[in-house]
């Protein structure tokens, strides 16, 4: 072919000695820089277009000269048409080919031309840039500023930190910024992006290598970024070689639609990019959105259609918050209470002036209390606080808001009184302020305030514990059960202490406490419409008991996973109290939930292995006083028992990778807000 320049007149005859349609050797002389001829196919090809199809495009190169071959010798003008004008795809490919053949332009040749000192300087400059990028990435800081010119007094973080390094290191100072070659300063935005991209690739590859062939679960959540793009964050949860539960963020994926099918396609693309297989997926963790956990068309259903062992666990912390919100919506008194709290936060925090007044009054009261020795003094105490808005999906935010209202109650009333008396405010604002003052200074509000504070205090401990990323599902189930027991104890024995505390608060702030034996009068209603029930009956039965019953019922409904057979079987792995929860039959049943990991032969082997395993565990001092399955996994790896009982360790691993919280995903979006903020909302997804 081509470069050998064969003697064409020998190739153009058939086996009968007759002349075939001629390939003119003159054509080769004319197009020798690209034309290739195949004897067997009697066709011509374009080598340049074949080599550089990705650069010039498949359509531009065409299939005639790259795949099928040109053999229409009646129309040799087609050769000229393929060449085209100076900017044609063919001529671009020829240029690429000629550049490829010029060894003097090779990167290695170009690099070898530089002296050893130049290469050393370049490495110092590059390593300094990489260190700056790593620092900014680890702290979640933006790289660039509005004005990065030499005359700017406040350049971006990247240039400022690089300048700081240069000022404190003479070796770096000699080769960076103004002392660097004009075409090799490594400060351009494109260079910064290249280094960030390299860091991202290396970090992701390290995570994928750490996962290896292990089984894993996936935590997914979607949210909007500062540029109003819908982003899907993906976190992997797996057990590493040391037996520790690891959660790693592997990427954000921009999705044009939040339908389950779109999310599934985006997840498939991410898995394909990193060489992950859905067949190794053993758990899914989402919030309660229908497009994520829908029973018929949700993302979890689409995944389980491909892998029946990828069991879905609703985020426990998210369920807890939804249970709290559900109570607020189902009970009229509690619903009214939270509506008033929202209005109070909005009115008091509507302007900086009102916030300043609140801070000043708080400061005066703290100073007075310190002078009278009513408050302890010390570092970190008596900090300045202000009201905060709560959100239905923000864990623990309701509890924090109620604590602030109790702490700042007299100051909030003072601010509302100022708003009500200020003639510059609209009549609606003054009316609203008067309404809030009257409602807040009622026993109904105070009792509801302390009741919800106590309920949220019990669930807040659970909420904080459920957000631990190393939390295993058995501990989460225990915490839920503990929360239910505490609520039941509060229902049985907590009324007297609640009434006493609320009454003391009312007396302290000059709020009338009703006689519990009198007829109950609903706030804002006339005596004629009042029901013949006592205050004690209403506050204790229709408020206290009713709210707690709703809370307990909602927790039972939300945490229905506790009653699932899968989780009941998982509980048998718990090593607490010398493995008292161990149940061989239930653990075999647990293995049957994972037919991909436990074949019939392995199930038979598991029965024997479990019998030996429990005898070994109970007789070994190394496995005494373990707390939870996560401790069991670590200890098995430390003592090499994971090699002795591989099937049992596989069960332990499967129990650990089931996610109980999407807190890691939520933190991912929080970190993204620092990097991609309103000032830089056009930043690319990469």
Q: Calculate what percentage of the chain has a pLDDT beyond 70.
A: 80
Residues ≥6 apart with Cβ < 8 Å to 60: 89
| 659 CA to centre of own chain | 13
Q: Which class in CATH covers the domain with range 217-315+662-672?
A: alpha beta
Report pTM.
0.65
Angstrom distance (rounded) from CA 25 to CA 32: 10
pLDDT of residue 11: 38
Among all chains, which residue has been given the structure tokens 């909420």? 463
Instruction: Find, among 649, 585, 579, 587, the residue nearest to 615 by Cα.
Output: 579
pLDDT of residue 17: 38
Classify strands 216-224 and 230-239 as parallel, antiparallel or unpaired.
antiparallel
Q: Which two three-digit tokens encode residue 619?
A: 């007789």
DSSP type of residue 19: B
Collapsing DSSP to helix, strand or coil, 269 comes out as helix
Q: What's the burial of 365, exposed, middle or buried (CB within 10 Å: 0-12/13-18/19+)? A: middle
Pairs from 504-513 (Cβ < 8 Å, separation ≥ 24): 505/406, 505/409, 505/446, 505/450, 506/443, 506/446, 509/409, 509/410, 509/413, 509/441, 511/441, 511/442, 511/443, 511/446, 512/443, 513/443
Q: Which two three-digit tokens encode residue 423?
A: 């003639």
Contact criterion met (CB below 8 Å) for 282 and 654: yes
Contact criterion met (CB below 8 Å) for 434 and 421: no
CATH 3.30.420.40 domain range(s) in the chain = 217-315+662-672
Angstrom distance (rounded) from CA 139 to CA 488: 44
Contact criterion met (CB below 8 Å) for 287 and 318: yes
Residues of the chain with pLDDT under 70: 1-25, 27-29, 57-61, 104-114, 224-228, 288-297, 366-396, 469-473, 523-531, 560-564, 662-663, 665-686
DSSP type of residue 538: I
The angle, 0 to 180 degrees and rounded to 10, between the axes of the packed helices 584-592 and 646-657 is 70
Provide φ and ψ at 19, rounded to 5°: -75, 125
Q: Which two three-digit tokens encode residue 80?
A: 């000229």
* Rounded (5°) CA angle 203-205-208: 115
Contact criterion met (CB below 8 Å) for 588 and 573: no
Residue 206, CA distances (Å) to 199, 202, 209, 236, 359 in order: 10, 6, 5, 13, 49
Strand 281-286's sheet: what is its strand order? Answer: 245-254, 230-239, 216-224, 281-286, 311-314
Which ranges of 422-494 would DSSP assign to H, the alpha helix? 427-440, 443-466, 473-493
Find the helix or strand (DSSP H, E) in which 348 lies: helix 332-348
């Amino acid at each position: 072919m081509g470069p050998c320049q064969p003697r064409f007149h020998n190739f153009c005859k058939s086996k009968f000695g007759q002349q075939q349609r001629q390939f003119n050797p003159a054509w080769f002389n004319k197009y020798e820089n690209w034309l290739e001829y195949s004897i067997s196919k009697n066709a011509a090809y374009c080598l340049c277009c074949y080599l550089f199809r990705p650069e010039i495009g498949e359509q531009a190169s065409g299939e005639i000269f790259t795949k099928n071959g040109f053999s229409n010798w009646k129309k040799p003008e087609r050769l000229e048409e393929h060449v085209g004008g100076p900017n044609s795809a063919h001529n671009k490919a020829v240029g690429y080919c000629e550049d490829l053949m010029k060894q003097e332009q090779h990167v290695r040749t170009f690099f070898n031309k530089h002296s050893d000192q130049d290469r050393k300087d370049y490495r110092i400059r590059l390593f300094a840039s990489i260190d700056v990028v790593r620092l900014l990435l680890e702290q979640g800081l933006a790289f660039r500023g509005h004005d990065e010119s030499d005359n700017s007094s406040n350049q971006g973080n990247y240039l400022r930190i690089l300048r700081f390094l240069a000022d404190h290191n003479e070796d770096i100072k000699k080769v960076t910024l103004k002392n660097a070659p004009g075409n090799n300063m490594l400060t351009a935005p494109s260079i910064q992006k290249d280094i960030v991209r390299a860091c991202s690739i290396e970090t992701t590859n390290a995570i994928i290598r750490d996962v290896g062939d292990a089984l894993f679960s996936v935590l997914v959540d979607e949210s909007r970024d500062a540029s109003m793009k819908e982003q899907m964050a993906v976190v992997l949860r797996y057990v590493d070689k040391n037996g520790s539960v690891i959660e790693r963020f592997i990427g954000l994926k921009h999705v044009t639609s939040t339908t389950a099918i779109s999310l599934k396609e985006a997840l498939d693309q991410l898995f394909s990019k990193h060489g992950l297989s859905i067949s190794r997926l053993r758990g899914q963790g989402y919030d309660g959105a229908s497009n994520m956990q829908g029973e018929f068309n949700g993302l979890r259903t689409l995944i389980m259609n491909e892998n029946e062992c990828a069991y879905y666990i609703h985020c426990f912390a998210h369920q807890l918050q939804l249970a709290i919100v559900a109570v607020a919506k189902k009970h009229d008194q509690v619903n009214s209470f939270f509506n008033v709290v929202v209005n109070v936060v909005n009115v008091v925090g509507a302007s900086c002036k009102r916030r300043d007044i609140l801070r000043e009054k708080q400061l005066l009261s703290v100073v007075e209390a310190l002078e009278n020795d009513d408050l302890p003094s010390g570092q970190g105490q008596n900090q300045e606080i202000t009201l905060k808005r709560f959100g239905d999906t923000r864990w623990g935010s309701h509890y924090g808001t109620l604590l602030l209202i109790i702490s700042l109650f007299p100051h909030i009333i003072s601010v509302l009184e100022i708003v009500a008396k200020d003639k510059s405010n609209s009549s609606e604002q003054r009316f609203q302020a008067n309404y809030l003052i009257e409602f807040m200074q009622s026993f109904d509000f105070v009792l509801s305030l302390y009741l919800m504070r106590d309920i949220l205090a019990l669930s807040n401990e659970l909420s904080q514990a459920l957000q631990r990323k190393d939390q295993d599902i058995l501990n989460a189930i225990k915490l839920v059960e503990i929360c239910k027991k505490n609520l039941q104890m509060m229902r049985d024995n907590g009324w007297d202490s609640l009434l006493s505390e609320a009454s003391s608060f009312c007396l302290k702030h000059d709020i009338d406490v009703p006689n519990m034996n009198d007829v109950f009068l609903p706030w804002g209603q006339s005596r004629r419409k009042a029901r013949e029930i006592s205050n004690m009956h209403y506050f204790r039965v229709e408020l206290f008991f009713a709210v707690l019953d709703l809370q307990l019922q909602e927790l039972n409904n939300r945490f229905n996973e506790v009653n699932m057979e899968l989780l009941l079987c998982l509980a048998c792995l718990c090593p607490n109290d010398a493995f008292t929860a161990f149940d061989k039959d239930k653990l075999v049943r647990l293995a049957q939930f994972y037919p991909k990991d436990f074949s019939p032969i392995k199930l038979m082997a598991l029965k024997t292995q479990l019998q030996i395993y429990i005898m070994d565990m109970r007789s070994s001092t190394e496995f005494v006083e373990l707390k939870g399955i996560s401790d069991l996994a670590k200890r098995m790896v430390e003592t090499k028992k994971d090699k002795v009982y591989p099937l049992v360790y596989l069960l332990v691993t499967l129990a650990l990778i089931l996610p109980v919280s999407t807190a890691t995903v939520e933190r991912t979006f929080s970190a993204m807000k620092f990097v991609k903020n309103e000032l830089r909302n056009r930043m690319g997804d990469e």
